[in-house]
Homo-oligomer: A and B are copies of this chain.
Amino acid sequence: MVKKIVILGSTGSIGRQTLEVVEQFPDKLKVMGLSAKNNIELLEKQIRKHKPLAAAVWQEDKASALKKRIAGLHTEILAGEEGLNTLAAQPEAEMVVVALVGFSGFKPTFTALQADKEIALANKEALVVGGELIMAEARLRNKVIRPVDSEHSAIFQCLQAGDAKEVERIVLTASGGPFFGWGKKELAAVQPEQALKHPNWEMGAKITIDSATLMNKGFEVLEARWLFDLQLSQIDVVIHPQSIVHSLVEYIDGSTIAQMGPPSMLHPIQYALSYPERWANALTRLQWKKESRLNFAPPDLETFPCLRYAYQAGEEGGTMPAVLNAANEIAVEKFMEGQLPFLCIPALLKAVMVRHRSKAKPTLEDIVGADAWGRENAKKILQKKRSLI
Residues of B within 8 A of A257 (CB): 157-158, 161, 257-260
Determine, out of A81-89, A289-297, A306-314, the stretch whose residues face the partner at the interface.
Answer: A289-297
A260 contact from B157, B256, B274, Cβ within 8 A = B256
Complex contacts, A260 vs chain B, CB 8 Å: 248, 255-258
Identify the closest chain B residue to A274 (Cβ): B253
Which range holds the interface residue count of chain A?
A: 35 or more
Does A281 make an interface contact (CB < 8 A)? Answer: yes
Q: Which partner residue on chain B sits nearest A259 by CB separation?
A: B257
With beta carbons under 8 angstroms apart, the residue of B160, B251, B262 that contacts A254 is B262
Q: Are B297 and A294 in contact (CB under 8 A)?
A: no
**A270 and B253 contact, CB distance less than 8 A:** yes
Question: A283 within 8 Å of B by Cβ?
Answer: yes
Known A-B contacts A238-B288, A288-B298, A292-B296; A255 and B281 likewise in contact (beta carbons under 8 Å)? no
Known: A291-B297, A293-B293. A166 touches B278 (CB 8 A): yes
Is A278's CB under 8 angstroms from B295's CB?
no
**Distance, CA A163 to CA B260, complexed state (A):** 17
CA distance A252 to B271 in the complex (A): 11
Pairwise interchain contact B250-A285, C-beta atoms closer than 8 A: yes
Complex contact B248–A256 (CB within 8 A): no
**Contact yes or no, B158 A161, CB < 8 A:** yes
- Asked if residues B271 and A283 are in contact (CB atoms below 8 Å), the reply is no
Contact: B255 with A259, CB < 8 Å? Answer: yes
Q: Mark A residues whose CB is within 8 Å of B.
A: 157-158, 160-163, 166, 168, 171, 236, 238, 245, 248, 250-262, 267, 270-271, 274, 277-281, 283-286, 288-298
The 10 closest A-B pairs by CB, nearest first: A252-B280, A256-B260, A166-B278, A294-B294, A253-B278, A238-B288, A254-B283, A160-B161, A258-B258, A291-B297
